Each structure stands twice: as structure tokens, then as C-alpha cells.
Structure 1
Amino acid sequence: MKQKSILILLLDLFKFLNKKRKLQVFLIFFLAIFSAFAELITIGSLIPFVDLMLEPKRLFNYPLLENLFSFIEINNLEDIMIFMTIIFIFLIIVSTLIKIYIAYFSIAVVHGIGHDLSVSIFKNTIYQPYEFHVNNNSSKTIVNLSRAGASIGILHLIIQSFVSIVLSISIIFILLYIDLKLTIIGGSTLVSFYVLISLFFKRKLFLNSFQISQNEKSRVKNMQESIGGIRETIIGNMYNTFLNNFRKVDWSMNKALIKNALMLILPSNLIMMIATTSLTILIFYKSFGNNSLVNSLPIIAGLILGAQKIIPQLQIVYGSWSKAQGNYKIIEEVLFILNKFKSNIKITKSSLQKMAFNKEIRVKSLSFKHQNSKKNIFENISFVIKKNHIVGISGSTGCGKSTLLDCVIGLLSPTSGSIKIDNIGLNKRNIKNWQKNISHVPQFIYLADLSIQENITFGLENSKIDRKKLIESCKIAEIYEFIKSKKGGFNYIVGEKGGRLSGGQKQRIGIARALYLDKELLILDESTNALDDKTEEKILNNLKKFKKGTTIIHITHKKNLTKYFDSHFSFSKNRFKKLK
């Protein structure tokens, strides 16, 4: 596949901007033209200013200025010089203020665009089907979000480069007026130099962008694995393994960044050397002859100011291009995420109606296999779950119990067969309606670094929390006494991923969270396996006593819990058998 040019990639990225952002970008371009006009006047006014400072009588060489001073009745040469100085300073201040405002407006717009892209990438990622998240490493998601942040810097440079192009063109026009021959020679040399060096570095920058992208992913993955499994890291004394991996990928990424930085600053230093040398030769040449240097000073001053302004602008254009080229893979991956996932996004309203669930869940001839897999995890399974029953499903590890439930609750789509709720088949159109009935407690409970209350009520504002319901849920989950014993009670901070709690405590908080939601279907997916038998039985007794209007599906390895189930199914060697 042919590699797209960086300009095409940036134009593709521009298509994802909303109307407001596009309008703001065009406004920046308009302001750039206005700034260029101000710059034009500033440089153009330098020559008569220097000329008058050297010899006030040369005013008569500028009929326009002579007529202006006659009109405003300023005839004294000293007053004319003061007036010209004030005007020149005023033009410099106005030109600078315009550039400052453009810089401020550009930064605000670019960060607004970066925010929009970050939100789009996060939305496009989080709304993906469950199987997508199962098949993709979370470090990849984190890196993808950081891509939007990197895009901010690139977009800022690109907008700056357009402003610089407009300014450069205006400066070149005034310099052509000052000295046609020198401007053509100098301008051609500058542009040719930047074009040649860009072509020379293009391939190197692209290869570096690929290296930076790959190493950044590996870097984040290494950090996640080492810190995420910190117990294993400490007990297994695996510090050096992770540290060496981190050192290797981080240095590899930084070497590529060093090369890119060098390729970015090299041209400006060479250009300044060439420009300074050329100016020295010009002054030396003009110094021969009667008053040749003195007569040429206004023109030389104009050329110096023009060069002093145009070289940084050309460097910005080159720097923007090299930075964009050096981040080619990042821009490409941002576009990939925005393009690939956009069609899958279906925003659901919070006011979505619940699917009616009054009688039963009927599973018939259900089979499932993962994408790119030839073997079914389970096949031809049929069973019925009555409303308000407590149903147990037991079986050996890896037999497909959790996958079966993922199909029932709509996280996975079965390969064949059907799932019906009160004789209405589940499909893509009504799956979100069905999920409004479900609360799910997984084996491994996710807890945020927040208070116990915040982890149970998850996202609710304090004013909206039902205190009575909160306490009741904790009592059923057998966690209320523990909460009361902690300093701060419900405000006790659990630590990152619940690090300040035991496995059993985390599971009970997870159950309390599900109960607080008060849904019609409660799924316990091996979510009591960290509890002792006595506590587990207390919870099941509580559920049977206090949640009679709730249908409960409990996945477990323990066969001694059959007495708590209205129905009990066994999963073994791809066979699904009713025990009770």
C-alpha cells in the first residue's frame, strides 16, 4: 500500500473537526493575512525611517511622506524625526500585539481541537463491543488516548506554519521592492536549502516515527505489567527484568527523539551561518567607493530586518513539517481509530426503556466461539431460568460458564442458537434495553481509589444517594460491620484497585454495589470464591430472604450450595446438565 503524504494525512484529520473548529481555523488564516499586512508596513517603513535618521533632508526623496507632513503642518525637521520615530515604534507594537493575539488564539483553538480528538478517541474506544476490549491490551487504549495529546503539538505547529508562510510571502514582496536582485538570490538559496534538506531527512523522520510509536506502546505495557503485578514483582524479585525492559525501550524511543530534534534544529543554524556570512561579504563590498556603504545603509537595514524576520518563519515551516513527519505514525494511528471505530458507535440515551422481564429467560441450542477460532467453547446448550428463581451453575475452570453468561447478558453474541426473554429474542436492537435489567458482579472486582461509599454508589452525587438503601445493600452483602469498624466508615478510602482491602472484602463491596442498583437480574460470576464458607452462606441466605423479587444466577465451583438454588445446572466437558 502506497504511503500517504503527511499533508494528505493532516487534511484527513481536518475532516473530523466540527464546523466550529473549522471556522476557527479559517479565522486564524484570516488573522495571519492581517498580521502579514502589518509586518509589510513595518518593514516598508524602516527604509525611510533609517534614511531620515541619517540625513533628514532626504525627506524630499519620499513625496508621499513630504505631502503627509505638509498636510498635518509639521515642517520642522526635528519634529518630523520625532514623529517618524513614534510612528515606527507604534507600528512595531501593533505588529507584535497582533502576533501575540494570533499565538494565543491559535493555542486556544489547537487545544480545543485536541480536546475534541481525545473525547472522540475515548468515546470510540469505550463504546466498542465487549469482545474488542477482551482482545485488546489496555496499554494500547492508554497510548491511543495519549496520541490525541501528541496531535495537539503537531496541529499547533501546522497552524503556525501556515501563519509563517503568509508572513514569509509578504516579507519577500517588500524585500523584492527593496532590492530585487539580492532578494531573488537570497530567497532562492533559502527555499532551495529547506526543500533539499526536507527531502534528505524525510525517510529518516518516517522511520523514527515508527520506532517512537512502537516503543511508546511497549513502554506503557511494561509499566502496567510491572506495577499492576507489583506483588509478583516484589516476591519474585523481578525488578531487574522489568527495569531492563523499560531501559531498553525507553532509550530506543529517546534515541529516535534525539535524531528528530537534531534534524529539526540543524537547518536554522546552517542558514544563520550562511546569512551572517553573506551579510558580512555584502557590507565589505559596499564599503568600497565614496559613501557607498552610508548610502546603502537604509537598504541593508531593510534587508537585515527582513532576513531577521523571514528566517525564523521559514524555520517554523520546516520545523512543523519535520515534527509532523517525525510523528507520521501517531497521526496515522489517530486517523485509524477515528475512521475504523466511528461506524460502530451507537450512543444510547440514559432514558432507554427496560425490556419487560416477567416470566423467564429461555436459552435454546446456544453455541459460541471466538473470532478467528475454529473450536466452539460450548455448543447446543438449552435451559430455562424462571423469574425470581436463584439458579446455580457449576463446573470446572475454563469450561465456558462465564462465556455462557456473557452471552445471556448481551456482552457477547452467540455463534448460533437463541436467547429469549418472555418469548422475545435478544438482538442488537434490544440488547441495551435488556441490560437495563442486569447488575453483574465479576470474580475480580474493580475498585477506584475512592471511598467505600463512592465505590458502591459509583458515579452518583452525594445528594442523590439513598442512605437507607446503601446500608441495606451492605448488610445483605455482609460488609456493613466491617465498614462501621473502619475510621471514617463509608468515607474510608480503599486505595488503588482496592489495595487496602482483602479479596473477600472487595467481593462483598462488589456485591453491595450490584444490590444498590436494585436490578431484576443479579449475576454472581464466581464473585464469592474469596469468601469463607460461613460468610458465603450468610450472603446467600440474605439474598434468599431479602431479594425475593430478584432473579439470581450464581456461578460457583462449590457443590454444597445446591440447597440455596431453585435450579442447579452442571457444566462439564461441553455438556450442560440439570442437577436440580
Structure 2
Amino acid sequence: MTSLMNNIIKYSKKLQKKAKFLKSLYFILSKENKKNFLFLVVVSIASSFINIIGIGLTIPFLEIISKPEELLANLQRYSFLSLLQLNQNSLLILMCIAYVLINIIALSTRIYCNNFALNLSSAIGTQLATDSLSQILKKPYIWHKQSNSSDVLSLITNNVEQTQGVILSLTLVVPSSTLVLLIAFSLILIDPINTAVISFLLIIYYVYVLSYTSIRAKKNGVIRVKEYAKVVNYAQEFTSLIKELILQDSFDFNIKNYRNAVFNFRSAIADNKKLQSNPKIIIEYLFIIILLLTSTISYFLNPSASSLAIQGTFLISLARIIQPLQQIFSAFNGLFANDSALVSVLEAVGSKTYDAHSISSKHKGKDYGHFGTNKSPNLIELNNVSFKYSQDPDDSYQLRNINFRIRLGESVAFIGKTGSGKSTCLDIIMGLLKPTSGNVQFKGNDIYASVEATKRWQNSFSHIAQDFCLNDASIMDNISNFQDIHKANFNDILLASKLSEIHAYIEALPDSYDTRVGERGSMLSGGQRQRISLARAIFRARDIMFLDEATSAMDRDTELKIIQNLKRLNYTLLAITHSRSILPYFDKIVLFSDGTILDVGTYSELTIQHPGLLNT
């Protein structure tokens, strides 16, 4: 008994911790989902009462079969029933019709509750997946640089799927728990001794089963989350490295790693299903044994009290209680089995990352107004900017004391060896990485002063990356970013394509601008992808443009034409490049070395002062 109480106390503490998670989960639900959940509770209670009425009608129905004369005599005492002049057969038919109708209604309400719970869990799962992705996208850019994309994909797919499974179980627990409580109360009224014995034995069984399975289920849940992230990571690597895999014929080794991860992932799922299904099978047979033992003991203790109606109703009630009990057990088991996934989703959805240097889809496309009158002759200024990824004072800086200015319409090139700080500096200028010290100003205003200031600044420029990924859609959709194209807009697309030197190629295609580019632009060459991404940036119609190795895959002549086209349109350009051929066309060149600016000047000036460095 002491061991039983200790297990009950131990398991109760675990459930209290889970209750906090569930409370957090409820508060992050949308108003619509909260309203539907409360509606489910109300309907479940009503459905349970209807089921109890159906069970209650079992007693008079069986009494008619076993003792028709006695029941009929008792009913004739009521004047309104005596007027009906019921005989044994008519009463049996009437009770049969009533019993069937109430059970049809009870069945219909339970099916309705079950379907409503399934739809609600689907809606909540959709909300969690969307909110998880939304919150992840709102995290600071530095978080994305330091995170593995497979972990993110695992979170918004597998982890959300597991969490939805928990939600589904819990929504089904609402009607199940109500039904179990009402049936238990009815059983106490029918046969208190047997009910007490059966309840005690069931408590012992479920406490020991849950105390045994919960630890193992939780370990399997952790394995499932970790191994699924590996599965996603391997799959991503296979698709991105397919050319190397074919050429090096290294399929076997990679497939072996993938198989191990999949095996561990699916073994964890299978083991948790065993932990849920085996106790269910055991309890079904255990139920029958307990019922037979308690009925036999009850008969010998008080044979006169045993009747067909009472025993029959007791049996039907117990039969009705098995399924909801199983659902409750599955729900609690699922809480532990999916604990790791549930925690990760709640942390993702519950985290509010509105920071001045965050990327927030919430602000996309909104008008944040304009910066005030320029207080400085410079368009962009960096003042004593230093940066390091960690806050640890012992860690080294990626950038140190960066100072330079860019005027309106000026074209500037960042050059330097790999790792010299060019890309980090560009990320800071674009409002992605907040400086550890110093400030970045646009028209004399600090771009990191607030979220709104950062978003106003980011809405002022276009950016083209070296590894820009296109959508698996038409060329037109990729350039317009899926805008509804009218005739005037299409002319803008044509102009953008011509300026990016891709129009002639597109026109030669059979489907022209309606040609699909494939996943991530796989049907195009690297240079063609870059030119389409450049056309998209030009179509966006911003006066400031940042090019991060945006022409690296193009031939020399095309690269020169594009730079000349952009300068002719008087863009303010800031480009990271390793291409020496285009450097003479920039007004200013910033030479980086080991996280600092080594020199700033024109191409001719730097050629004289650093003749060897311009080859980097």
C-alpha cells in the first residue's frame, strides 16, 4: 500500500508539471480555437448525460424481460400510464423503441463530439505549425546563422505533428472523462461494493502501468525528435549534393547513415505504440476477469440482491466505460511520449522575439512612413562599429572600429580575403546583425533605434545574394514576387529583365515568361538564376541596392553590362565582389583585412597603394 501511495504521489507531481504545459498551450490558442474547445466541453457533458440516460433505461428494459408482470403492476399505479392500457407486449415494444432511440441519440452525440474533437485538433495543429514558423522567422538573424535548418524543419513538421497528437488525445479526454465520471457515479448507485473493488484494482493497474511506461515513453520521445532532425538533415544534404554523390559514387555510406537515423526514429515510434497498445489489450482481459470475480463474490454474499436487470445494467455500464478509460490512458501516456516535441513547440510559439534587429514577417509590405529630413550629407554612415557573435568578453571580434560613409547615388565595392569581415559588415548595414558597439545611420537616423526604424530602413533597399533561391514557379512570378500583373506592371518586368540582361534568353524560351524554373531554380544555370533575382530586385523599385556576390556566376561581359546599367539608373550601390574586372566602375572601394578597414579609395588609388591586394 505504501508503494502504491508513493507511486500515486510521484505520478501526481509529474502530472502537475504537465498541467502547466497544458495551461500554457491553452493560452496561446487563438480565440476561435479557445471558443471551440469550451464548446466541446459543453457538448461532451451533454453527450455524457444522454449516454447515462441510455444506460439507465437498461434497468426497466431488462426488468420487462425478466419480470414483466411485476413491472406492469407497478406502472399501473400511475394514473396517466393506466390510461394507456398497456399490456406486456405493448410495454415491451414501447420500452424497446425508447431504448433504441435514446441509444441512437447517444451514439450520434458521441460521434459528433469525436468528429468535432478531430477537427479542433486539426485546427490547433495548423495554428501551432503556422505560429511556430512565424515566430522562428521573427527571431534575430544571428539566431538563424547559428541554427541548423533541419532542426527548424523538424520543429514545424514532426514536432508539431506530435503535439497535434497530444492535442487530439486531450480533446478526446474531455468527453471520455465526463462519461467515465458519470458512469462511475451510476455504478456506485447500482452496485457500490463491486464498483469500489473494481475502481481500486483499476487504480492500482493504471498507476503502475503509467509509472513504468512514462519514463520509457519520454526517452523514446527525445529519440524521435533528435533522429527525425537527422533524417531531415540527411535528406537535405542528398538533394543539395546529388551531383557530388553521383560522381563520387558514395551512395552506400550516405544511405547507411540515413537508414540508421530512420530506424532509430521509427523504432521509437513503434516502442511508444507498444507502450500504449499492450496495456489496452491487458486491461480488456483483466476487466472480464475482475468482473467475473466480483460478480461471483457479490452473488455468494447476497444472492437475493442479484437480478438480471441489475447485473445486466452493471455489465453494460462496464462495457461502456472501457473505451473512454483507454482514451484517457492514451492521452496521459502521450503527454510523456511527446514531451520533448511539446516543449519545443511551446517554446517556439510562446517566444516573443520582437527585437530591433529581428526579421519579422509581421512587418512585411507595411508602410512605416519615412525617415525625417536628412541631417547629414551622407546617406549611410557607420560610426565606430564593432561586432562579435558572442557576449563573452574573451571571444574575438569579427569587426573592429569600422567607419565609412556612402553618399546618395554612390557605388561602393567591398573587397578582401574570405573571412575578412565583408559579409558581416554588409549584414550589419542591412539591419540583420546589431553592432556590439557603434551605430549605423541612414539619413542621419540610427537604423537600430527601434523595430520600426529597422523596418523602415529595410524597406528602402533591395538585396541580391549569391545563392538566391527561386520559387518553383514561372519566371514572371519569380520576378514579380507573385504580384497580380497588369499591363503596366508587365512592362516593368520587361524593363527589369532587360536591365539584368536576361530578357533575350527568356524570350527565346517556348513559354517565355511563363516558363517554370524548377525547385530553387534548378532548371536554370547559376548565372541565369542570379540575373532573374537581379530583375526581381530592380522590379521592386528601390533606389538602394546591395549585391552580395550577386554577379559571381556570370561571364565577364554580362557582369560589366549589368553594373553599367545599374550605374546609369543612378542606384546607390554597395557590392561585395571578388571580380576584379568590375572594380574600375565603382566610385569607391573599401578594402577589408582581418575584421578592419585597411583602406578606402578609388580603383586607381588602391592600385597604386595596394597593387597585390586587388587580386583577392
TM-score range, shorter chain: over 0.9
1:19/1:66 CA distance change after superposition, 3 Å: farther
Contact 1:32–1:102, Cα closer than 8 Å, also in 2: yes
Please name the residue that 2:10 is paired with: none
- Structure 2 CA distance for aligned equivalents of residues 395 and 265 of structure 1: 63
Q: Secondary structure at the match of 1:21?
A: helix
- Structure 2 CA distance for aligned equivalents of residues 174 and 463 of structure 1: 70
1:575 aligns with 2:593: no
Report the alpha carbon displacement of residue 413 of structure 1 after superposing the two structures with TM: 1.3
- Structure 1 CA distance for aligned equivalents of residues 409 and 268 of structure 2: 61
* Residue from 336, 353, 358 that aligns with 2:369: 353
1:182/1:465 CA distance change after superposition, 3 Å: farther
Counterpart mapping for 1:404-443 below 5 A = 404-429=425-450, 430-443=453-466
For residue 576 of structure 2, what is the amino acid of its counterpart? I
Counterpart mapping for 1:357-368 below 5 A = 359-368=378-387
Deviation track 1:141-194 (CA, whole Å, cap 9, x = no partner) reads 111112223222211111212321110111112222222222221222223211
Deviation track 1:296-330 (CA, whole Å, cap 9, x = no partner) reads 32222212211111111111111111112110111
Give the stretch that moved more between structures: 509-518 or 196-205: 196-205
For residue 363 of structure 1, what is the amino acid of its counterpart? L
Deviation track 1:68-118 (CA, whole Å, cap 9, x = no partner) reads 862661422211111101000001001011111111222222222222222
Contact 1:394–1:558, Cα closer than 8 Å, also in 2: no
Contact 2:464–2:548, Cα closer than 8 Å, also in 1: yes
Please name the residue that 1:487 is paired with: 510
1:462 aligns with 2:485: yes
- Structure 1 CA distance for aligned equivalents of residues 498 and 227 of structure 2: 49
1:124 aligns with 2:135: yes
Please name the residue that 1:111 is paired with: 122
Contact 2:464–2:537, Cα closer than 8 Å, also in 1: yes
Contact 2:139–2:353, Cα closer than 8 Å, also in 1: no
1:563 aligns with 2:563: no
Please name the residue that 2:154 is paired with: 143
1:72/1:172 CA distance change after superposition, 3 Å: farther
Report the alpha carbon displacement of residue 293 of structure 1 after superposing the two structures with TM: 11
Deviation track 1:368-391 (CA, whole Å, cap 9, x = no partner) reads 222257222222222221111222
Please name the residue that 1:322 is paired with: 333
Give the stretch that moved more between structures: 66-75 or 483-492: 66-75
Q: Secondary structure at the match of 2:381?
A: strand
Contact 2:72–2:87, Cα closer than 8 Å, also in 1: no
Contact 1:364–1:417, Cα closer than 8 Å, also in 2: yes
Deviation track 1:24-76 (CA, whole Å, cap 9, x = no partner) reads 2222222222112111111111121012023321314755x863862661422
Deviation track 1:221-264 (CA, whole Å, cap 9, x = no partner) reads 12112222222222222212221111111111222222211111
- Structure 2 CA distance for aligned equivalents of residues 211 and 121 of structure 1: 21
Give the stretch that moved more between structures: 333-342 or 240-249: 333-342
- Structure 2 CA distance for aligned equivalents of residues 487 and 330 of structure 1: 48
Give the stretch that moved more between structures: 97-106 or 78-87: 97-106
Please name the residue that 2:520 is paired with: 497
Q: Please, what TM-score do these two structures have when normalized by structure 1?
A: 0.93
Counterpart mapping for 1:526-545 below 5 A = 526-545=549-568
Please name the residue that 2:101 is paired with: 90
Please name the residue that 2:610 is paired with: none
Q: Secondary structure at the match of 1:461?
A: coil
Contact 2:72–2:88, Cα closer than 8 Å, also in 1: no
- Structure 1 CA distance for aligned equivalents of residues 150 and 326 of structure 2: 36
Report the alpha carbon displacement of residue 342 of structure 1 after superposing the two structures with TM: 4.9
1:180/1:572 CA distance change after superposition, 3 Å: closer
Deviation track 1:330-371 (CA, whole Å, cap 9, x = no partner) reads 111112223334555864371222436785222232222222
Give the stretch that moved more between structures: 87-96 or 554-563: 554-563
Number of aligned residue pairs: give it. 574
For residue 250 of structure 2, what is the amino acid of its counterpart? M
1:423/1:270 CA distance change after superposition, 3 Å: closer
Contact 1:69–1:75, Cα closer than 8 Å, also in 2: no
Give the stretch that moved more between structures: 322-331 or 374-383: 374-383
* Residue from 371, 376, 391 that aligns with 2:397: 376
- Structure 1 CA distance for aligned equivalents of residues 353 and 161 of structure 2: 19
Please name the residue that 2:237 is paired with: 225
- Structure 1 CA distance for aligned equivalents of residues 69 and 436 of structure 2: 94
- Structure 1 CA distance for aligned equivalents of residues 600 and 544 of structure 2: 20
Report the alpha carbon displacement of residue 281 of structure 1 after superposing the two structures with TM: 5.4
Contact 1:125–1:341, Cα closer than 8 Å, also in 2: no
Counterpart mapping for 1:33-72 below 5 A = 33-60=45-72, 63=75, 67=78, 70=81
1:576/1:69 CA distance change after superposition, 3 Å: farther
Deviation track 1:413-456 (CA, whole Å, cap 9, x = no partner) reads 12222322232232242111111111001111111111111111
1:167 aligns with 2:179: yes
- Structure 1 CA distance for aligned equivalents of residues 537 and 371 of structure 2: 19
- Structure 1 CA distance for aligned equivalents of residues 85 and 369 of structure 2: 81
* Residue from 276, 287, 308 that aligns with 2:288: 276
1:188/1:282 CA distance change after superposition, 3 Å: closer
Contact 1:286–1:296, Cα closer than 8 Å, also in 2: no
- Structure 1 CA distance for aligned equivalents of residues 488 and 101 of structure 2: 62
- Structure 2 CA distance for aligned equivalents of residues 525 and 300 of structure 1: 81
Please name the residue that 2:605 is paired with: none
- Structure 2 CA distance for aligned equivalents of residues 511 and 215 of structure 1: 39
Report the alpha carbon displacement of residue 267 of structure 1 after superposing the two structures with TM: 1.9
Find runs of 4+ consecutive structure 1 residues off by over 6 angstroms: 282-289, 292-295
Structure 1 residues not aligned, in runs of 5+: none
1:72/1:441 CA distance change after superposition, 3 Å: farther
1:287/1:185 CA distance change after superposition, 3 Å: closer
For residue 171 of structure 2, what is the amino acid of its counterpart? I
Report the alpha carbon displacement of residue 464 of structure 1 after superposing the two structures with TM: 8.5
Report the alpha carbon displacement of residue 22 of structure 1 after superposing the two structures with TM: 2.5
* Residue from 273, 276, 300 that aligns with 1:264: 276
- Structure 2 CA distance for aligned equivalents of residues 320 and 501 of structure 1: 50
Give the stretch that moved more between structures: 334-343 or 266-275: 334-343
For residue 268 of structure 2, what is the amino acid of its counterpart? A
Contact 1:59–1:66, Cα closer than 8 Å, also in 2: no
- Structure 1 CA distance for aligned equivalents of residues 481 and 17 of structure 2: 46
For residue 353 of structure 1, what is the amino acid of its counterpart? G
1:415/1:287 CA distance change after superposition, 3 Å: closer
